[in-house]
Chains A and B, each alone.
Chain A
């Protein structure tokens, strides 16, 4: 077993060196050594200044709104006596967007609220245009709400509810307990959630590209994309990436600082419990109605709009229901099948490699206590935190002219960005597995490798399935890395959907998005069922 871990570590290290360390090093070396770049002029130009400002605005506002909403919503769902089925249905509806890429929701909202043609215009002609920074923040907030609710779930599942009971017995109203007891205790989790959402919104590309760029508002990621694609200005792209990276690092360091020494579990001493649930008051019922409204706005409405759009022959005529776009996508766009098979192949191979390495590394860390294994897991976490744009650019520079038109470079990018999901899912699952189960196998004559295969792997099956799904889903419709890395013959689903949406045929884009979303939701449902609800969303 040690031999297996050690040999796969060599492979692992090679992958990280070739996919992350060397490309990043070369990329920054090249950026810093570009001659005749007037850095002062670059950073003082209003275009760059505005992009930086917009990026910060997008990331901080999104994080602020979604964290507050998620916290209030989670508290209301947790605190009052609602029917369990309602709570379950609501939390699933609100968390589902996390499984789908945010740009699907941008597409849905374009269909709903584009100027003069959005479906909602028939009902509310004066709806503000979805294009622009405010529309971008709106859609990013609704998507991040799911992310924030998942982040805060741990807090509520481990919060000692009797602390609220005690306050109620002292005569506090539920609202007072919320502000005086729960919120102060949740502060580190709230700040951490805020910072994590801001890191992910800062790296967002698809939503600002679809919603802000048409209104001539750019963020750093869309500027970098433009520098590469239209201006061919690699040095500008490099410097902007550095700026993006610095902001990301600052946010992440703050997050570590806030959470330092604080595991969610060690939040407050005392056992986790739900407080004595309260009968919903009138205010609570109104708040619940608001949550239902948000669930509809955040998840149901944009998805329904995408589905509707995929069935319309003429996008401006809601009665022209037909299968024409489906037939068109799967029989007339040769790129459709190429993109589908490319994405399936890259995502599947990437996921299998990530899960295999994640499993072996988690074993190395949790069981053999190898330092190298913890380093590798740390390296994956760095990859995950890096904006996809930077990963793609560094690969592009490092592999210029060699594997740039192959699926390999895409696979590298996906693996670096989403590989962390495997180790993250598997190492807690492995730590939770009693070591004696394995020792018992050794005592019964099984070699460490036999024990691993016959005892550990079968017992980790649900976690392995979850690790596979969690890495596979975002890779399947990845956009940020793909738009920069797709080359001749390596079109991917994410890039194709983006191209169709932006250039040719939003209806056809909707068809592909619906197919991807459906596959994702079915797999997630199957995983939930198999793991009896402990994995999946």
Chain B
């Protein structure tokens, strides 16, 4: 047991790229995955754009048996399965096994079951036809649907946990997997999260007036974190997955190592001191970030890049302020900061895992992806951080340490410290 935890495989289903090579190309070139959705216009939504992965449902037949595929309706499960199995293959391991893989567990998060798929269930029950529902509804309605499909396909026999912490879900899942390995409970953890923002969840966010509604005719400009014209977030869907392993265990099997998870923290502001169901308590946020640095044994000055939560709402300014407080830097001293959401929108539970995959790609390939749509930065943010720290074009440079954080409804926070493997 090395006590060190490394990343040996990654998979991603993102609005701007499916699979690691396509996703890497997209984030290096600032390619937006935001599209206009006619159905949202037909439904009179104020926001009519979204980050939808160009995912071919039939491609799931490459991962699971025809029998399992038949009757699979949960879009979030499909995304999660594909990302997780891609990560597994990427780490150099076969899917099939006769005996359970006792040393490997899974922490995979999501928000809710696919309510569009559940609509059919509700209609049948209301129509007194519950008998016709069949055997495949419960396994897809249950919150642990995604982890059940993943762990079943791969025969994972260690801890199988489904976590849910709103927008902090993805980073929290990765942190939990890290902790299980670090503390010796598992040798390997398949971690990540999935989200499908279905029409009903989308509609509920639309009603909260927190979505971007002024760029329906220019979808690629709709997600504008830190911009003065930012008017809300753009919902996104997808999944991200990582294979985490104990360093010695990974070295023994000759695995390729992408990066190291140095540590992290997840906490809550308690919905006190300014924190509410929907707003973060700044003290909670700064504590989360400083605890993450502390458990990782690093100082603020070691951080090359902050991968922010930065959704393009009026919370962006406060988030930058919180990072400054936590890191203790002045306007010029801040590290580079970027937001993947400028390209793919906010994929809620999946955000943390997709953004962590992006963070690790930046470490591996030595670049900082651009913040697109930041040609008109918010002056209040510019007062906090020097503009050269908010790149609008890709920067090629060595990236050794990334701080990746997400903050969610319920006043929950999660922060990871990721490092180049040395």
Asked if A and B bind, the verdict is no
Chain B residues close to A by CB (< 8 Å): none
